[in-house]
Amino acid sequence: MQAKGQTVLVTGAAGFIGWKTSKLLLEGGFNVVGIDNMNSYYDVRLKEWRKKDLERYENFRFFHIDIENLGALRVLFDSFQFDAVLNLAARAGVRYSMENPHVYLQTNAQGTLNLLEMMKDHGIKKMVLASTSSLYAGQPMPFKEDLPVNTPISPYAASKKAAEVMAYTYHYLYGLDITVVRYFTVYGPAGRPDMSIFRFIKWIDEGKPIKLFGDGSQARDFTYVDDIAKGTVLAMKNLGYEIINLGGGKNPISLKSIIQKIEDLLGKKAVIEYRPFHKADMKETWADIEKAEKILGWRPEISIDEGLKRTVQWYIENREWLKDIKLEEGKQNI
């Protein structure tokens, strides 16, 4: 896509990946309309910080809209002519999806359906749909896009699978061009406080015990948020219907190793409080990114050491207001 005159709708624009992707589009000259329901699954002050950062750009407009609200979406789509829709809005979190599965299906599946309907009705052909590596649970590694991911082990993963399948249906029936990007453990500055790296940094810095589920040997294909944003924007090219992994693409890194690296960066030792491994969590994730390299010309550029250095630096620079950020998931207004 050429940026000049192009208007892109980014859902979940105040979210972690939505913020960074919107910023990349804005700096590339796109007009961005961002929407977000600003729910309190995690501390809203982080979402407000990201939104304020985006509002510095003249080519950014924000609306407080939930993708579950079809009426509000209809007004929005009547008001703007979008050239593409990047659906990065989602209810995230594997563990909490087991406590409140209904809201995950409503947002991740019904919300995606609402957007697909609006695209069909308004002649908008391109969607990039954010999905998850959680779908690969139980499959052999490294995870390749053609694996039969038909047995999700959490309501979160099941809701994302539902969104993928519905997107394919609209591609088949109405010719929509949809690229599904499956993200692998994204981290970076202004990240989600319910994710391990944000928590580890804050707990180690404050001398509080790290709550570690399992023995720390579980490993993740950590991917820096700037790389993820670049891959998401590249996925706006016309491809028909494709599912593409966006991940680190190297051997996964254990949580124990991550903790040691953060200790070195902060110059402080962690106090670890071990908890039972959660059965809905995955032991390891590891992306095969050959397809992303071939189709998008994408591969991650930021190493785990550089990414952690930038993330810790952001935390230190913002420590004064981050000290009050709650790390527990919200139980209301999710």
**74 Cβ neighbours under 8 A, 6+ residues apart:** 118
Please confirm, yes or no, whether 170 is among the known catalytic residues: no
Task: Assess whether pLDDT exceeds 70 at residue 332.
Answer: no
pLDDT tens digits along 101-123: 999 999 999 999 999 999 999 99
CB 249, CB 299: distance < 8 Å: yes
Task: Assess whether pLDDT exceeds 60 at residue 199.
Answer: yes
The whole-number pLDDT of residue 206 equals 96
Categorize the per-residue pLDDT at 334 as very low, low, confident or very high, splitting at 50, 70 and 90. very low
pLDDT tens digits along 301-323: 999 999 999 999 999 999 999 99
Categorize the per-residue pLDDT at 330 as very low, low, confident or very high, splitting at 50, 70 and 90. very low
| Nearest residue to 104 via CA among 94, 113, 114 | 94
Per-residue pLDDT, averaged over 159-181, amounts to 98
End-to-end CA distance of the chain: 35
What integer best gives the mean pLDDT of the chain? Answer: 93
Categorize the per-residue pLDDT at 97 as very low, low, confident or very high, splitting at 50, 70 and 90. confident
The whole-number pLDDT of residue 2 equals 62
The whole-number pLDDT of residue 314 equals 98
The whole-number pLDDT of residue 331 equals 39
CB 1, CB 84: distance < 8 Å: yes
C-alpha span between 197 and 190 (Å, rounded): 11
Beta strand spans in 72-176 (E): 84-87, 126-132
Categorize the per-residue pLDDT at 59 as very low, low, confident or very high, splitting at 50, 70 and 90. very high
For the entire predicted model, the pTM comes to 0.94
Quickly tell me which residue has 């790296």 as its tokens.
197
Tokens found for residue 263? 């200790």
Q: Which domains does the chain have, with CATH numbers?
A: 7-253+256-322 (3.40.50.720)
- What percentage of the chain reaches a pLDDT higher than 70? 96
Q: What distance lies between CA 283 and its chain's CA centroid? A: 20
Task: Assess whether pLDDT exceeds 70 at residue 217.
Answer: yes
Helix (H, G, I), strand (E, B) or coil at 181: strand
Q: At 99, which helix (H) or strand (E)?
A: helix 94-99
pLDDT tens digits along 131-140: 999 999 889 9
pLDDT tens digits along 3-45: 778 999 999 999 999 999 999 999 999 999 999 999 988 999 9
Identified catalytic residue from 96, 104, 156, 170? 156
| Nearest residue to 131 via CA among 101, 97, 108 | 108
The whole-number pLDDT of residue 333 equals 31
How are strands ordered across the β-sheet holding 241-246?
Answer: 60-64, 31-36, 7-11, 84-87, 126-132, 177-183, 241-246
